[in-house]
């Protein structure tokens, strides 16, 4: 295998293997990792020995916890917009490259998979989740929005499940992720090494033999209520409908919404609704424009500070209350 520190790549049998390798940082994606991954995929697209590509995370805690938002916050604070623009444009181009890749990509997701980690897996045709996988799009908690094509794929999840997941950032198990649409196959951790070896030997046809019986969807009993609450046109109305539900899932959802950036909830709802009618490419382009608008808002630097840098989990949002967000200010973010 050829390797640098953070991204290890190599060919094994019929497959190219990409290992996200920053286990201490939960394999969070840095710009050099995005560049190395893009370069390798471009090379392998032309390589007749490579029939498929496997994407994995190092260690058993995470597949990939997201983008390197600490670096993005630093760049924002120091005024390095060029870094911010390079990061997002190259990350989203990689998401699109995976979605349109001429050979099958297979992501093996064991452990945490959030944000940018979902971006390098969900667009692949095969996503294998284990019983230790945990999926989430938690960006409203850091004053950002579900990006990496989430404004394309979340509105295409069943009913209003995607709106619920994108606004609340609720974590899903590997099995639930297959029911929702994040993943396509369910294989226990104990069989992953054998699966990788079988893929290298025989290609994607072996996936079915490793796909185990899926436990029931834990959200099934709440699907109708989720659809009812999250079909509302405004954040205020979603909150009103959740408050009228007498159920544990609804109070958890309310708690998550109350902790999130009020502004981020508004721009996320609008972005998800607009994404219904966009292609993946159009959605990624709209997301890129929205990164500039939302990162200029104080909630992004404050949210990353509170959740990732200082970890006090007590962000001071501006404005602090959902009712005080001015819809005209949010609409204006989509005009830039």
Q: Which stretch binds ligand QUE (CB under 6 A): 65-73, 87-95, 192-200, 236-244?
A: 65-73
Q: Does 33 engage in binding with ligand QUE (CB under 6 A)?
A: no
What b/e sequence results for 75-111 when a residue is b if at least 16 CB atoms lie within 10 Å of its CB, and e otherwise?
A: bbeeeeeebbeebbeebbebbbbbbebebbbbbbbbb
The active-site residue, picked from 56, 91, 139, 299, is: 139
Q: Output the smallest distance, CB 59 to ligand QUE, in A.
A: 12
Crossing angle of helices 280-295 and 262-275, rounded to 10°: 160
* 57/8 Cα distance (integer angstroms): 10
The active-site residue, picked from 56, 147, 176, 302, is: 147
Q: Does 302 engage in binding with ligand QUE (CB under 6 A)?
A: no
The active-site residue, picked from 16, 116, 119, 162, is: 116
Q: What are phi and psi of 128, to 5 degrees?
A: -100, 120
* Stretch (H or E) spanning 335: none
**In the complex with ligand QUE, which residue's Cβ is closer, 29 or 183?**
29
3-state secondary structure of 117: helix
Tell me the β-bridge partners of 56: 19
CB atoms near residue 68 (< 10 Å):
23
With CB atoms as reference, the residue minimizing the distance to ligand QUE is 66
Q: Does 315 engage in binding with ligand QUE (CB under 6 A)?
A: no
Q: Which stretch binds ligand QUE (CB under 6 A): 138-146, 153-161, 256-264, 273-281?
A: 138-146
Q: Which of 25, 206, 236, 309 binds ligand QUE (CB under 6 A)?
A: 25
Answer yes or no: 323 catalytic.
no
**In the complex with ligand QUE, which residue's Cβ is closer, 141 or 229?**
141
Q: Does 115 engage in binding with ligand QUE (CB under 6 A)?
A: yes
Q: Which of 141, 148, 165, 180 binds ligand QUE (CB under 6 A)?
A: 141
Q: Could you tell me if 249 and 316 are in contact, meaning their C-beta atoms sit under 8 angstroms apart?
A: no
Q: Output the smallest distance, CB 118 to ligand QUE, in A.
A: 10
Crossing angle of helices 235-244 and 248-259, rounded to 10°: 150
Q: Output the smallest distance, CB 278 to ligand QUE, in A.
A: 22
* 78/144 Cα distance (integer angstroms): 18
Cis before 319? omega within 30: yes
Token pair in block for residue 165: 């997941």
Q: Output the smallest distance, CB 34 to ligand QUE, in A.
A: 13
Q: Does 91 engage in binding with ligand QUE (CB under 6 A)?
A: no
Answer yes or no: 56 catalytic.
no
- Residue that the structure tokens 């990496």 belong to: 148
Q: Does 295 engage in binding with ligand QUE (CB under 6 A)?
A: no
Answer yes or no: 116 catalytic.
yes
Q: What are phi and psi of 53, to 5 degrees?
A: -125, 130
* Stretch (H or E) spanning 336: none
Q: Which of 75, 122, 142, 333 binds ligand QUE (CB under 6 A)?
A: 142
* 326/181 Cα distance (integer angstroms): 33
Answer yes or no: 57 catalytic.
no
Which residues are tagged catalytic?
67, 116, 139, 147
Name the site residues for ligand QUE (rule: CB under 6 A).
Answer: 25-26, 28, 65-70, 114-115, 138-139, 141-142, 307-308
């Amino acid at each position: 295998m050829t390797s640098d520190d953070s991204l290890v790549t190599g060919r094994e049998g019929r497959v190219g293997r990409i290992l996200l390798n920053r286990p201490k940082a939960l394999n969070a994606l840095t710009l050099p990792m995005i560049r190395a991954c893009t370069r390798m995929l471009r090379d392998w697209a032309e390589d007749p020995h490579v029939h498929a590509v496997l994407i994995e995370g190092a260690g058993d805690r995470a597949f990939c916890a997201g983008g390197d938002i600490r670096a993005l916050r630093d760049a924002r604070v120091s005024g390095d917009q060029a870094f911010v623009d390079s990061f997002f444009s190259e990350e989203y181009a990689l998401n699109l490259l995976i979605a349109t890749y001429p050979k099958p990509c297979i992501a093996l997701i064991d452990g945490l998979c959030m944000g940018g980690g979902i971006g390098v897996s969900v667009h692949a045709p095969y996503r294998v989740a284990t019983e230790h996988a945990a999926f989430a799009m938690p960006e409203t908690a850091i004053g950002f929005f579900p990006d990496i094509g989430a404004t394309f794929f979340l509105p295409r999840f069943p009913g209003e499940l995607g709106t619920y997941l994108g606004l609340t950032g609720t974590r899903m198990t590997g099995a639930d992720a297959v029911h929702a649409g994040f993943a396509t196959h369910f294989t226990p951790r104990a069989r992953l090494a054998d699966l990788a070896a079988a893929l290298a030997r025989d290609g994607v046809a072996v996936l079915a033999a490793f796909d185990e019986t899926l436990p029931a969807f834990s959200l099934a009993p709440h699907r109708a209520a989720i659809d009812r609450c999250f079909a509302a046109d405004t954040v205020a109305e979603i909150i009103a409908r959740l408050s009228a539900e007498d159920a544990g899932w609804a109070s958890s959802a309310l708690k998550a919404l109350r902790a999130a950036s009020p502004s981020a909830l508004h721009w996320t709802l609008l972005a998800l609704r607009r994404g219904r009618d966009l292609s993946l490419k159009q959605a990624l382009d709209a997301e890129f424009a929205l990164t500039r608008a939302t990162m200029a808002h104080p909630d992004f630097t404050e949210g990353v500070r509170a959740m990732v840098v200082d970890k006090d989990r007590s962000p001071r949002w501006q404005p602090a209350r959902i009712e005080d967000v001015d819809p005209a200010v949010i609409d204006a973010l989509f005009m830039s």
